[in-house]
Amino acid sequence: MRSGQASHPRRAFTLVETVTSMAISSILLLAMGSTIVVAARAVPSGDETVIREGAVERGLAVMESDIEIATAITSGPGGIELAVPDRDGDRTPDTITYEWDKGDRMVTRYRNGQAAEELFGPVLFGNVVRSTGDDGETTQVIVVLLLADHTPAARVINVRMLNRP
């Protein structure tokens, strides 16, 4: 034995031990990061409300533009039917129907009985109120809808007098 040497040799981590511990650490960090991402996606961001409100506004705007040019209006508890000037070139008035009393409770638009287009929803309750003038013709339509999340959606729509036959 040499005179300046310690009785216990000094040990360090080997390369294999270091690489193994780095691999385990990176796997743990990756798992923690993905957990944070999943948790962040689970928290509502508020964008869903903005998107839904935009769809409701677009749907009501489409409904409003159809009602404004309607020549005849028939309403019931589950929707409204409109006769509008010819749009498809067959020289007969078109029929546009809005319904919200079907199984899925979505506000759906039909043109001439076909090509259903879901506008927004679901709707818990919907009603259409028509105001008439002295001549008995519809002058104003009020569409009131209560969405499934209890958000009210209402629109007062004036019917143009020039579009009546």
What tens digit of pLDDT does each residue of 17-46 get? 899 999 999 999 999 999 998 888 787 666
Asked whether 146 and 123 are in contact (CB, 8 A), the reply is yes
**pTM (2 decimals)?**
0.64
Element (H, E) at 68: helix 47-68
pLDDT at 45: 66
- Return the pLDDT at 130: 77
Q: Using one digit for the tens of pLDDT, what is the confidence trace for 55-103?
A: 888 888 888 888 888 888 888 778 889 888 888 888 888 999 998 877 7
**Domain boundaries in the chain?**
12-43, 47-163
Alpha-carbon gap, residue 60 to 52, rounded angstroms: 12
**CA 76 from centroid of its chain's CA atoms:** 25
Give the whole-number percent of the chain exceeding pLDDT 70.
85
Report the pLDDT value the prediction gives residue 32, as an integer from 0 to 100: 93
Sign (positive or negative) of CA dihedral 146, 152, 153, 158: positive
